[in-house]
Structure 1
Amino acid sequence: MVVLFSLDSGELLAIIEADRLGQLRTGAASAVATKYMARGDSSVLGIVGSGVQARAQFEALSRVLNLKLVKVFSRSRGHAEEFARYIESRGFDAVVAGDYEEVCRGIDVLVTATNSKDPFIRGSYIAPGMHINAIGSNWANRAELAPDAVLRADVIAVDDVAQAREEAGDLIMAGDVVWSRVVPLADVVVGRVRGRPSNGSVTVFKSLGIAVEDLVLAKLIYDRAVREGRGVEVEFRGVFR
């Protein structure tokens, strides 16, 4: 659960179920990164993974990309086909790729949203101009991007650099040389760092998630619930003595 308190009074404002909130804030962070780091004409999205995080990524990225096609790959062909049908039900064209290399072919933006321990996206799969949102691994000993894929990147944005040095296995496994390319996503958004040096640049957002993202989304959810009369209001007065 995410518990939201008033900054002014300290009173409890809301208790919000965390799983869906976490999916939405992770998708939103990728959408922000994609808005500022992907090519402006990006229209083909590749997604590795077919679970709830993958769906949230599609939902968010469909808001910032003029999508013409979504390619999907999952180790379970059935899950990939189900995900493709879901994408089509939202009004977008979708195809199921046969393997990791195929899902990368001809795309502009790639999302990796898996629980894989071992990296599966190789440098040879990445074309110039591609933007990658790597969201699956948040452990130092797990990765989705192979070191040679990470080293293809000209700019790598993260939620927080200090956190990434501890938890971003994709970057840690690529070695010390990679850290000169790592910047806070906030610096990209405010223009301190160019998120895309050129159309041919390869860019990466390594997502780990930070508390402020949960906080901002929780406040938005709370404000909307109050405005629209949603949720269940609970009276706590007199409960605690």
Structure 2
Amino acid sequence: MITYLNDSDVKNNLPVKECASELREAFISCGKNESSSSPRDRICRKDFVFSTMPAFYGKRGIAGLKTYIAGKNGYRFFVLIFESEHPERLFAIDANVLGQIRTGAVAAMVTSEIVKKKRINYTVIGSGFQAESQFAAISEFYDIDDAYVYSRNIDHARKFAEKFGNKIKPVKSLECLSESDVISSATDTVKPIFNYSMLGKNYHINLIGANVLGSREADKDVMEKSDTVLEENSEQSELESSEISEIGNRHNVVNLSEFLLQPGKYQGNKTVFKCLGIGLEDLAAGYILLKNMNLL
């Protein structure tokens, strides 16, 4: 039996905070070798790219994958979930909105594990679909004193601010980074947007874009001079992230599962989370959706 769920089902049944909590459990489960997630596989052709991201979430007894196709005629995202004990049951979930929510949720979850004060200054770099979920998710976890949005097109930044009732200020430069406790970058840039000299004494950065080798959002000195750089899957980082794979001796790179399993071990006031997205995150988000709809 196949059960199909659409983006409206996702919007109505996947709260950010509940998703974030489940994502934390999923990474801890992976750290205990109860769950696993394979790197993204891409099939690249002239007119499209087809990707798959398989995973098994042992704690919840589900297996499946995120799969999507993107090309000149558009894109489509799906998450497919099997119950491992009842493989005849299959859930097919439209995953455009699910991917947006889980990406915002995982970044907010990681931030909340590191930045313990409740009031912050915040900057989001980028003004698109994923940037919206970054601001929305961080706003669920923190009271924000000063919030800024930067885009290479200031009109895009202004429209972004209007969507959120002007609770965030559009800016023409990134001078605001020096006074920002938390920074999220969600762009399609290839060249670095900011470097270490632009940052304050204490910061946490969520890097959401640049998931192809050769592209960067943060300059190399940001990655090398930060106290801790968190990654989701080391094999995937080597395949997709120049920001991580080109770090000198990788002394400061820590797997997110290990970080969550040993709270307090990794100290420092300058941290970076490189979010590439792995299938386990989509399974965790899908589990919350199915649970809230009484399907699991």
For the criterion TM > 0.5, the same-fold answer is yes
Letter in 1 for 2:273: F
Query: Is 2:109 aligned against 1:66?
Result: no
Moved >3 Å (runs of 4+): 192-195
TM-superposed CA distance for 1:32, in Å, is 1.4
Q: What does 1:47-86 correspond to in 2, within 5 Å?
A: 47-86=124-163
Per-residue deviation, residues 103-141 of structure 1 (Å, max 9, x unmatched): 413111000000001111111111111000001011121
SS of 1:163's equivalent in the other structure is helix
> 1:42, CA displacement in angstroms?
4.7
Supply the distance in 1 between the matched residues of 2:280 and 2:181 (Cα, whole angstroms): 29
Residues 38 and 203 of structure 1 are in contact (CA less than 8 Å); yes or no, is this contact kept in structure 2? no
Q: Is 1:186 the counterpart of 2:257 in the alignment? A: yes
Provide the C-alpha distance between the structure 1 equivalents of 2:110 and 2:263, rounded to a whole number of angstroms. Answer: 14
Q: What percentage of residue pairs aligned between the two structures are identical? A: 28
Matched to 1:68, the amino acid is D
Number of residues of Structure 1 aligned to a counterpart in Structure 2: 218
For 1:53, the aligned partner's letter is Q
Within 5 Å, give how 1:77-116 maps onto structure 2: 77-88=154-165, 93-99=167-173, 101-116=174-189
2:222 match: secondary structure: helix
The amino acid across from 2:81 in the alignment is L
Deviation at 1:40, TM superposition (A): 2.2
Question: Do the aligned partners of 2:154 and 2:171 also contact (CA within 8 Å) in 1?
Answer: no
1:205 counterpart residue number:
273
Structure 1 unpaired stretches of 5+: 228-241
Task: Please give the alpha-carbon distance, in whole angstroms, between the structure 2 residues aligned to 1:39 and 1:127.
Answer: 17
The 1:225–1:41 alpha-carbon spacing in structure 2 relative to 1, beyond 3 Å, is: closer
Q: Helix, strand or coil for the counterpart of 2:205?
A: strand
1:1-241 matches, cutoff 5 A: 1-88=78-165, 93-99=167-173, 101-173=174-246, 175-177=247-249, 179-191=250-262, 194-195=265-266, 197-198=267-268, 201-226=269-294
Q: Which amino acid aligns with 1:176?
A: G
Q: 1:176 to 1:223 in 2, by over 3 A?
A: same
Task: Indicate the SS of the match to 1:132.
Answer: strand
After superposition, the CA RMSD in angstroms is 1.8
Structure 1 residues 20 and 214, CA gap change in structure 2 (3 angstroms): same
